[in-house]
Amino acid sequence: MKNLSLYLVLAATIFSTSCTKDNNSSNSNSSSRPKTYTEDVRSSIIGNSLTTYDLTYDAKDRLTAIAAIPAPPSINFVYTYTSANTVTMDLYQGGILDIHEILWLNSSSYLDTTFQYDNTGDTTTEKYIYNGNKQVIQENIYDYSTSGTSLYSMTTYSYDNLGNVITSVDNLGNTISYSYYTNLPNNLNLGQTFLPQPINFIKTEILNANGTIETVNHYYTFDSNNRLIEDSTYTAEVDLIAIKSYLLNFWSTFSNCI
């Protein structure tokens, strides 16, 4: 099954040594839409890769495309807003449609249900369940086959008093625990308004897969207007460094790092 879960987290990281910033200093709540996004992954185990994507938005600041450059894109995500409560996502690889997904939104305009099929004929559905605070507390993924429908995976989420996810646990017992820079409000705006976002920037992610533990440490760089321009992560257990860089639509001057 080639499921494209909307809550997959890229576990990639780096040390930032070019400059330092006091983690107790405050970050403003300004936000800007990135024009490009670059993923720089370095690992002695899985190898190295460097990919830059163009991000496109509509007049309502909603994300409409993520396309690898240079053209023609090897990977291209296309989002279409077909109605007030329906979005479609098409993933093209090498110009060929690989995954088509329909997303239905709830009365709060957050993701409620998805239906997805890929070019191999696999079909899946995702269902998101919310609490009274409009926070996702459960994600169910169902697999379809000729023999019927079956629950493929179930993940539950818990939150701190600020509204950040602090744990996720799936039906296999795999867990992810999160900590945050509580003085750094999340001001990254990717135009995916249908997805609930963390309140603060993530500090650490601790992944426990049946006793195998990996710790992902996040380090952030901001421009002089306190807008995020780089999220670097480091995972020692798998010798994985990843740098996610954002070129904003507006000017950036000298940067601050934490």
Q: How is the chain split into domains, by residue range? A: 34-257
Q: Which of 8-12, 113-117, 248-252 has the highest mean pLDDT?
A: 113-117
What does the pLDDT read at residue 252? 41
179-183-184 Cα angle (round to 5): 80
CA distances from residue 56 to 160, 189, 191, 213, 257 in whole angstroms, order as listed: 33, 12, 9, 37, 27
Cβ–Cβ < 8 Å for 174, 208: yes
For 68-79, the pLDDT digits (tens) are 998 888 999 999
Helix (H/G/I), strand (E/B), else coil: 4: coil
34-257: CATH topology is: Porin (2.40.160)
Bridge partners of 205? 178, 216
State whether residue 236 is helix, strand or coil: helix
Q: With a cut of 70, say whether residue 195 has pLDDT above it.
A: yes
The CA–CA distances, whole Å, from 85 to 99, 138, 164 equal 20, 20, 25
Q: Structure pTM?
A: 0.82
Digit-coded pLDDT (tens) for 132-177:
999 999 999 999 877 788 999 999 999 999 999 999 999 999 999 9
